[in-house]
Amino acid sequence: MIPAAIAFLLGILCASHSYAVPVLALYSIFTLLRRGRGASLIALVSLALGIVDAYAGERTAVRDDRNFATLPVVVTDVQVRDGGYAALVVRLADGTLASTNVRDPSLSVGERLTLRAKREAFDDARNPGEPAERDIEAERGLQFRLVHARIIARAPPDPGDISLWLPRARAWGSRRIHTLLGEPDATILAGAMWGERGTLPSDLRAEFQDTGTVHILVTAGLHLGVIAAIALFALGKLGIGRVGASLATIPVVWIYAGLSGAHLPSMRAATMLTFALVARATGRDAYSWNGLALAAIVIAALRPSAVTSLSFALSFSCVAAIFAFARPCTQWFSDRGTGHTIGALLGVAIATQIGTWPLTACGFLVIAPFAPLANAVVVPVVGIAMIVGFAAILATPIPALAHAIANVAIALVDWIASAVRVVSQFPSAHIVATPPPIWTIVTYDASLVLLALALGRARLIRPAFAVVACAAALCLWPPRAMHRALTITAIDVGQADSLLITTPSGHAFLVDGGGRLESGAAQNGNSQAEAIGERIVVPFLIRHGIHHLDAVLLSHPHGDHVGGFPAVLRTLGANAFADSGQAYPGHAYADALAVARERGIALREPRAGDVWRTDDGVTFRFYGPSLPYIAGGRNDINDNSLVFVLEYEKFRMLFTGDAGELAERRLLASGADIHADILKVGHHGSAYGTTPAFVKAVHPTSAVISVGRHNLFGHPAPSTLRTLAVAGVRIYRTDRDGAVTITIDGARVAIQTVL
């Protein structure tokens, strides 16, 4: 079934990706020569079916609703967040699932609500290289979100609704776990038991990511495997026999997949386990390549779009690597005196990493060298913790017993967290990785196939290992085209500013870091402004090969400009931190300065008249702020923003931060040469700046506005857009265009948008 499965997947890819066509041609030739005409015929039929299935499986894109609608929904999941609101998953009358937020943390799974809300589609990718929100949410089964939702009626759950039994059971179990265990133990255990999307402290979440153990918090093969093992053991003790126990375990696995939320990763794992259990029942090897191939065909047939997802690739690469390399690795360790049990743990952990590390680098932008060790130490305890957690829930009617069992669960979870923390502190435990190109991953996977074929043939093993090492080196250090151009990208960070400047020789400068305006005290030591840095800005920089910055330039200390800097400086570092030098009490600003001091980053305060130059011809000419600071205006912090012109050959671009009308008047009165080809419009296009006199002095051909969709401020203001339009300026907006990239190559200036 392997040729048929590969052809089926290639057929799906051919329906939407032209690069799959030459791969298919080469594969067809290989199949004909290697397998014969019969296998080639099967492969061609599978190819045709894959293409048909891909086209038939296309779904109509969800469109945004302009008007509010009254929608009856049923709550299928509730996560209470900081700030007193509930993040809900709701089921509409037509069976589709959507996410929404409401200001009512008392809601429970199964409640029937009537909402007044607008339907909004999940985003495509809004920045170059980032995954589409639509695809991420599709993994959870969600098709759209409901925005500005307001509850206008609520009713208790319908006890006769069978579809809610498992979600309500999960919610009941989650309440018991959170009652018996404190945080973060409850979130870790609930994540291990059924993939609950809880809120871990950012440092602990990063440690799970850095050690390659974050998968234990997402219900997939590991968790369903534990459930299958428990069921097989219990049924075996009842004397049912191999066939009966294997077949009876199949519905147990699917019920547990439903209990965990029936997300795509758990459904994929349940499908693969089903074929493994059928193989076991029929006396065949559970490590069945044919079973794996059939599982791939079934999963791809039901959800063709999932074939291109990272999750699909990780699932099958992980299982295939275990099939190919777990036994040889186990044998190697056992022969060296580790014992079979320890050898098996290390063997499976290493086999998993062999198959998945390039994909992990693609998806999570990190290489975790000690992931095999962390997984070998943690994974067995996860299985035990799951069993103890279920025992604690079942013991709820006897409080003393439930608390005693919960104490055991706490000890196990603390072991997991401690092991993860210790391993994350090893030198080079976290290596930032720019995603390797797809062709290098394909080359690496092909080298693994050669290695698997060479096992058992002594004279071929060393050459095969050499090929794998070369392919791995290609993934780590792929040849990349040298772009001898100046590039400026206005990153789409919502209602905020963040622009990356890369010079022809590779110097990198980040102007502002995105974020959110701050209101109130920080929650758990973290500002609401800082999440954008971790979620958007840092990944964007890493995907574009930026592992260190020459400087970060902060126009002014408001949270929507400084929010991303703490994460950027912690993860990547910088040689200098340029700041307008104003006093401001915001948490994100204080955090950014603290990280800069901790890392020994030079703090600078450019003033009007200062000039920076790079060794490849790029010049920063600063025109603001100048002393004394502007005072007495609507917002003095904004008006004292860093203002500078970026020059390269004949190209000029003016950066204005959030400078408003008072700052513009001072610039015009100073007689400074502020003419520019492109204007970064101040203060997100608000009505308090970008005056006609200022635009006339700058005389740009194009303007870029960093602004968030549906923002509450009405930005960009109609008056600002009118001023620019009257001046004949072409306008680019991140709310409408996504990220805007300006490339200056000699005399040529090119502007590209993502959307």
> pLDDT category, 5, cuts 50, 70, 90?
confident
Q: Does domain 486-753 have CATH number 3.60.15.10?
A: yes
Q: What is the pLDDT of residues 453-484, one digit of tens each?
A: 898 788 888 999 999 999 999 999 888 766 78
> pLDDT category, 195, cuts 50, 70, 90?
confident
> pLDDT category, 47, cuts 50, 70, 90?
low
HSE on the CB side for 374, CA within 13 Å?
A: 28
Q: Could you tell me which of 564, 602, 606, 559 has the C-alpha nearest to residue 581?
A: 606
pLDDT average, residue stretch 592-619: 95
Which DSSP symbol is given to 113? E
Distance CA 539, CA 364 (A): 8
Distance CA 617, CA 614 (A): 6
pLDDT at 428 over 80: yes
Q: Are 474 and 440 in contact (CB under 8 A)?
A: yes
> What is 480-506 written as a DSSP string?
-----SEEEEE---SSS--EEEE-TT-
CA 566 to chain centre: 19
Cis amide leading into 251 (omega within 30): no
pLDDT of amino acid 429: 85
pLDDT of amino acid 112: 94
Residues paired with residue 619 on neighbouring β-strands, in sequence order:
613, 647
Collapsing DSSP to helix, strand or coil, 426 comes out as coil
Pairing of strands 97-102, 574-579: unpaired
Structure tokens at 469: 């090492």
pLDDT at 27 over 80: no
> What is 427-465 written as a DSSP string?
TTS-EE-PPPPHHHHHHHHHHHHHHHHHTT-HHHHHHHH
Residue at 678: amino acid letter: I
pLDDT of amino acid 177: 93
Structure tokens at 495: 């209602």
Q: How many C-beta atoms lie closer than 10 Å to residue 693's C-beta?
A: 12
Buried-exposed string 700-712: b where 16+ CB fall within 10 A, e elsewhere? bebbbbbbbeeee
Distance CA 312, CA 310 (A): 5
pLDDT of amino acid 55: 58
pLDDT at 15 over 80: no
Q: Which residue has the higher pLDDT, 722 or 339?
A: 722
Residue 647 to residues 321, 674, 698, Cα–Cα distance (Å): 51, 11, 14
Winning range, highest mean pLDDT, from 54-58, 339-343, 361-365:
361-365
pLDDT of amino acid 1: 73
- 5-19, 27-41, 627-641, 685-699: lowest mean pLDDT where? 27-41
pLDDT of amino acid 25: 58
pLDDT of amino acid 335: 85
pLDDT average, residue stretch 199-217: 83
Distance CA 295, CA 311 (A): 15
> pLDDT category, 17, cuts 50, 70, 90?
low
Q: Residues of the chain with pLDDT > 70: what percent?
A: 91
Residues paired with residue 748 on neighbouring β-strands, in sequence order:
745
Phi/psi at 327 (nearest 5 deg)? Answer: -65, -45
Kindly compute the dihedral angle of the four CA atoms of residues 447, 451, 453, 455, in this order, to the nearest 10 degrees: 180
Q: Are 735 and 706 in contact (CB under 8 A)?
A: no
pLDDT average, residue stretch 184-198: 85
Collapsing DSSP to helix, strand or coil, 244 comes out as helix
> What is 587-641 written as a DSSP string?
HHHHHHHHHHHHTTPEEE---TT-EEE-TTSEEEEEEE--SSPP-SSS-HHHHT-
Q: Could you tell me which of 504, 491, 500 has the C-alpha nearest to residue 744?
A: 504
pLDDT of amino acid 42: 59
Kindly compute the dihedral angle of the four CA atoms of residues 44, 47, 49, 52, in this order, to the nearest 10 degrees: -130
pLDDT of amino acid 191: 87
Domain spans of the chain, in order of start: 2-56, 69-158, 181-436, 440-476, 486-753
pLDDT of amino acid 202: 75
Distance CA 511, CA 578 (A): 9
- 81-85, 166-170, 658-662, 734-738: lowest mean pLDDT where? 81-85
pLDDT average, residue stretch 511-528: 72
> pLDDT category, 262, cuts 50, 70, 90?
confident
Burial of 25 (0-12, 13-18, 19+ CB in 10 A): exposed
pLDDT average, residue stretch 294-310: 81
What does the H/E/C string look like for 59-89? Answer: CCCCCCCCCCEEEEEEEEEEEEECCCEEEEE
pLDDT average, residue stretch 609-615: 95
Q: Are 374 and 350 in contact (CB under 8 A)?
A: no
pLDDT of amino acid 24: 57
Q: What is the pLDDT of residues 311-348, one digit of tens each?
A: 888 888 988 999 899 889 998 888 888 888 888 888 88
Which residue has 């609401």 as its token pair? 528
Question: What number of residues does the chain have?
Answer: 755
Q: What is the pLDDT of residues 392-406, one digit of tens each?
A: 999 999 999 999 999
Structure tokens at 622: 């600063």
pLDDT at 60 over 80: no
Pairing of strands 611-613, 602-604: unpaired
Residues paired with residue 653 on neighbouring β-strands, in sequence order:
646, 678
Distance CA 425, CA 427 (A): 6
pLDDT at 38 over 70: no
Q: Which residue has the higher pLDDT, 1 or 671?
A: 671
pLDDT of amino acid 291: 82
pLDDT at 245 over 70: yes
pLDDT at 13 over 90: no
pLDDT of amino acid 310: 86
Distance CA 687, CA 704 (A): 15
Q: What is the pLDDT of residues 645-702, one digit of tens each?
A: 999 999 999 999 999 999 999 999 999 999 999 999 999 999 999 999 999 999 999 9
Q: What is the largest CA-CA distance in the chain?
A: 93
| Mean residue pLDDT across the chain | 87
Collapsing DSSP to helix, strand or coil, 479 comes out as coil
> pLDDT category, 21, cuts 50, 70, 90?
low
Phi/psi at 545 (nearest 5 deg)? Answer: 75, 15
Residues paired with residue 622 on neighbouring β-strands, in sequence order:
644
Pairing of strands 486-490, 431-432: unpaired
Distance CA 240, CA 232 (A): 10
